[in-house]
Amino acid sequence: MLLLLFLSTTTKMTSYNIIDFGAKNDNITDSANAFIGAWKAACRSMEAANVSVPAGRFLLSRTLFEGPCNNSDIRVLIEGIIVAPSNYSALREWVTFKHVEGVSIYGGTLDAQGQALWDCKNSSRRCPAGATTLTVMHSNNVTINGVNLINSEMFHMSIYGSSNVTVQAVNITAPGDSPNTDGIHIHMSSAVTVTNSVISTGDDCISMGHGTNAVWIENITCGPGHGISIGSLGGGATDEAGVANITVKTVIFSGTQNGIRIKTWANPIAGFVTNVTFENITMNFVDNPIIVDQNYCPRKTNCPNMTSDIAISQISYMNITGSSATLVAVKFACSPTKPCSGISMQNIMLTYDNKPALALCQNVNGTTVGLIVPESYL
Ligand SMILES: *[C@@H]1O[C@H](CO)[C@@H](O)[C@H](O)[C@H]1NC(C)=O
Ligand SMILES: *[C@@H]1O[C@H](CO)[C@@H](O)[C@H](O)[C@H]1NC(C)=O
Ligand SMILES: *[C@@H]1O[C@H](CO)[C@@H](O)[C@H](O)[C@H]1NC(C)=O
Ligand SMILES: *[C@@H]1O[C@H](CO)[C@@H](O)[C@H](O)[C@H]1NC(C)=O
Ligand SMILES: *[C@@H]1O[C@H](CO)[C@@H](O)[C@H](O)[C@H]1NC(C)=O
Ligand SMILES: *[C@@H]1O[C@H](CO)[C@@H](O)[C@H](O)[C@H]1NC(C)=O
Ligand SMILES: *[C@@H]1O[C@H](CO)[C@@H](O)[C@H](O)[C@H]1NC(C)=O
Ligand SMILES: *[C@@H]1O[C@H](CO)[C@@H](O)[C@H](O)[C@H]1NC(C)=O
Ligand SMILES: *[C@@H]1O[C@H](CO)[C@@H](O)[C@H](O)[C@H]1NC(C)=O
Ligand SMILES: *[C@@H]1O[C@H](CO)[C@@H](O)[C@H](O)[C@H]1NC(C)=O
Ligand SMILES: *[C@@H]1O[C@H](CO)[C@@H](O)[C@H](O)[C@H]1NC(C)=O
Ligand SMILES: *[C@@H]1O[C@H](CO)[C@@H](O)[C@H](O)[C@H]1NC(C)=O
């Protein structure tokens, strides 16, 4: 009754505080209904609206922020910490934005408390895959700014079926040995930018799956983690939409398993990767600084003795320096049936143990300009 009265007298108000919808910042009470209530009010609003999450710890079991909405300027302003229940369930998503246009999320921390699920995965028990912390799906014109994502059960952020998504100044943190905790996964999306962010995880810092076009990644610190990857591609049952028009610029990798990686299954699934630029990248003790692996076949099932049908072309590597943690710093293991073409390398200087590292090149053609260490035989 009180709530109804409140709503009816504030229809003109354009800022909705979750406390007014019954949220408790006590770290114990599930505030899911309050988050949904505040979102629905903002979404119904005919004018720009804010949803505010004040300081404090809010326990949130699950939230779907769904559109379409009546306005295209909703800001979710987070000051506090949003925590997931410390046990896990079979949910695949935790905080999700779906069918929204013109939404911005600013600040705050989302702590998924993934430890219980990682413990399960690291034992031999059967465990659910886990939830992605922040998902943006089937949405356009979305900005995520200054958000901290901690200890996700699975991926920290997933951008799927969306366009014009800007991610900036995010800080993603999970232990280096936490399973499947990718930082940001992008697929079936276009016009995505990720800038000025620090990512430390147990899997890829950023990964791009099939159907990714026009991605700009700049000024990223990555490590620990598995690096920045295009792929795995070709792991599905049918031919795939390709990956094109990607720029990865000014990245520092420290102690990562890979630096910049393109990875495809050794399967007869067709697809492509084209027009990718990697530039101004620093490697600090990275296991595989530059790697193209078209022989991916974990557990050796479904793909032994097959070759990848993903065509990799027009890939440019420029100004890449630093140290490799292994002797082979540059590895092109391209498909014998779809050789890599149009690979260009310029100003590469990678060392192993303070000496020039080695390059391994299979089924690859291209050009080199300037100093290239290791020597690449393109
Ligand atoms: C909504 O948030 C913005 C800051 O992002 C602020 O400038 C604006 O005043 C807020 N609007 C209301 C009604 O609180
Ligand atoms: C939040 O609650 C959990 C138990 O649900 C407890 O383990 C944790 O210490 C609490 N954190 C704070 C900051 O109160
Ligand atoms: C995205 O924003 C631009 C500029 O405000 C607008 O023209 C466009 O219609 C929006 N796109 C969608 C799908 O809402
Ligand atoms: C992208 O979205 C932002 C809002 O997040 C908007 O200001 C901008 O105009 C959009 N750009 C395009 C090309 O739609
Ligand atoms: C990122 O978050 C982690 C964990 O919350 C924190 O220790 C670190 O200081 C943050 N880094 C930056 C650059 O904000
Ligand atoms: C690069 O990102 C860091 C945050 O990781 C930020 O402090 C710095 O200002 C950014 N540099 C530029 C040139 O934007
Ligand atoms: C790559 O970008 C170009 C130029 O904008 C565009 O014509 C092409 O369609 C894009 N490729 C894909 C696969 O989207
Ligand atoms: C390659 O991608 C860049 C953006 O990274 C774009 O400007 C350019 O038009 C693309 N070239 C082709 C041939 O698609
Ligand atoms: C190259 O990266 C370094 C950080 O490693 C940065 O300070 C510098 O501004 C970048 N240069 C260009 C041309 O982007
Ligand atoms: C590459 O390095 C050269 C020489 O250090 C520098 O002039 C150029 O600006 C760099 N380009 C990029 C894109 O970092
Ligand atoms: C793959 O090739 C190896 C060596 O040529 C052969 O021993 C093996 O039987 C082949 N496996 C399959 C599934 O064809
Ligand atoms: C590389 O180019 C040469 C000369 O154009 C050609 O003979 C060779 O087959 C090409 N190799 C691959 C792996 O494409």
Residue 254 pLDDT level (bands cut at 50, 70, 90): very high
**CB of 72 closer than 6 A to ligand 4?**
no
Specify the pTM.
Answer: 0.94
Nearest CA to ligand 6 atom 1: 196
- Of 241, 266, 361, 260, the closest CA to residue 315 belongs to 260
Token pair listed for 38: 């505040």
**CB of 326 closer than 6 A to ligand 9?**
no
Average pLDDT score over the chain: 94
Which atom of ligand 10 lies closest to the CA of 250?
14
As a whole-number percent, the residues of the chain with pLDDT over 70 amount to 96
Instruction: For the chain, give every domain's residue range.
Output: 76-373
210 has catalytic annotation: no
User: pLDDT tens across 285-305, in order?
Assistant: 999 999 999 999 987 777 877
Rounded to whole angstroms, the Cα distance separating 168 from 150 reads 16
Q: Which CATH architecture has domain 76-373?
A: 3 Solenoid (2.160)
Evaluate whether 162 touches 142 at the Cβ level (below 8 Å).
yes
Q: Which of the two residues, 369 and 328, has the higher pLDDT score?
A: 328
Burial of 76 (0-12, 13-18, 19+ CB in 10 A): buried
Residue 372: what pLDDT?
A: 83
